[in-house]
Amino acid sequence: MHFLAAWAEPNNCAIALAAALLGLLVGSFLNVVIHRLPQMMLRDTANFIAHERGEAQPYTGRYDLLLPRSACPHCQTPLPPHHNVPVLSWLLLRGRCGECRAPIGLRYPAVELLTAGLFALAAWRFGAGLTGLAVMACGAFLVALAFIDAGTMLLPDDLTLPLLWLGLLVNLNHRIAPLHDAVLGAAAGYAALWLIFWIFKLATGKEGLGYGDFKLMAALGAWLGWQALPLVLLSACAMGAAAGIALVLAGRHQRGQALPFGPYLAIAGMLALLYGSDWLTFGIYDY
């Protein structure tokens, strides 16, 4: 009832609505990041290898988050501005390209709606001040990282490292956690998964985690403080195990096949950020 009453207040509703609209716009940009950043990494790697071999670089044109203009991935037709309206354009086009009628993935409106929801929750939970904006920024990073990892098994340093440093800067004034807890959290987050990685590798000869997971866990520690890490990790492991079992039973995943861990860390970390003492620590860690 308290939750519903808070949302019913006109001021809270207006702030949450404004944040949701901002989230739709940011989510549209995140779709560009999710699609292009892995491609940018592959291009940079290919160009570096060619340079080391003394060969001509295979990619010479500009390709980043701003240029070239957004285009249909199937026919490469640049999208007109009215086809770039978050969610609405996808609905009006019935999930298809306006030129070649090829299907446009459900991921695009899903990212936009998810970001809008996270921004609205962040605004309701923390207000429209610096803390609320910081939590929105963290949510945007986590959405991008989760979807990139789910699609490519990559957690780019271009996102994990800025997220880590941003968490430490946000906590300079104890906005989410005391600074010393945030610094310890960053170190402990990295060290915990590094240790698990080596224990698993020595025991099985296989690599159960990627180095990007270490850095994402360090970033979550920088935002939440070290006290939050055990239950964030346990929650992420539980969600990952449940998802893996469900995929195997549905015939969409093979036993022993690698499963991205980043999305579950991102979900657990965002829940901890939004509902810390209520959801995560049963009163041990309170904002």
- Give residue 74's pLDDT: 84
- Give residue 70's pLDDT: 87
Percent of the chain with pLDDT over 90: 71
pLDDT band at 281 (very low <50, low <70, confident <90, very high): very low
**For residue 241, is pLDDT > 50?**
yes
- Tell me the longest C-alpha to C-alpha distance in the chain: 68
Q: Which of 84, 185, 106, 175 is nearest to 137 (CA)?
A: 175
Taking residues 131-158, what's their average pLDDT?
97
pLDDT in tens, 57-105: 999 989 999 999 888 888 888 888 888 899 999 999 989 988 898 998 9
Rounded CA separation 161/135 (Å): 16
pLDDT in tens, 97-122: 888 989 989 999 999 999 999 999 99
pLDDT in tens, 8-36: 455 778 899 999 999 999 999 999 999 99
Rounded CA separation 239/273 (Å): 17
Rounded CA separation 111/60 (Å): 30
pLDDT band at 276 (very low <50, low <70, confident <90, very high): confident
Rounded CA separation 177/222 (Å): 9
Amino acid identity at 252 = R
> What's the first-to-final CA gap in the chain, in angstroms?
21
Taking residues 250-261, what's their average pLDDT?
82
Structure-block tokens of residue 121: 């929750």
- Give residue 7's pLDDT: 47
**For residue 185, is pLDDT > 70?**
yes
Alpha-carbon separation of residue 101 from 79, 104, 112, 198 (angstroms): 13, 9, 21, 49
Rounded CA separation 169/161 (Å): 12
More confident residue, 227 or 10: 227
Amino acid identity at 235 = S
Structure-block tokens of residue 76: 């490469």
**For residue 50, is pLDDT > 90?**
yes
For residues 266, 245, 195, 263, the Cα torsion angle rounded to the nearest 10 degrees is -10
Rounded CA separation 180/98 (Å): 53
More confident residue, 220 or 279: 220
Cα Rg for the chain, rounded, in angstroms?
A: 20
- Give residue 189's pLDDT: 97
Structure-block tokens of residue 82: 């009215």
Q: Where are the domains of the chain?
A: 1-108, 129-287
Local structure of 78: helix, strand or coil: strand
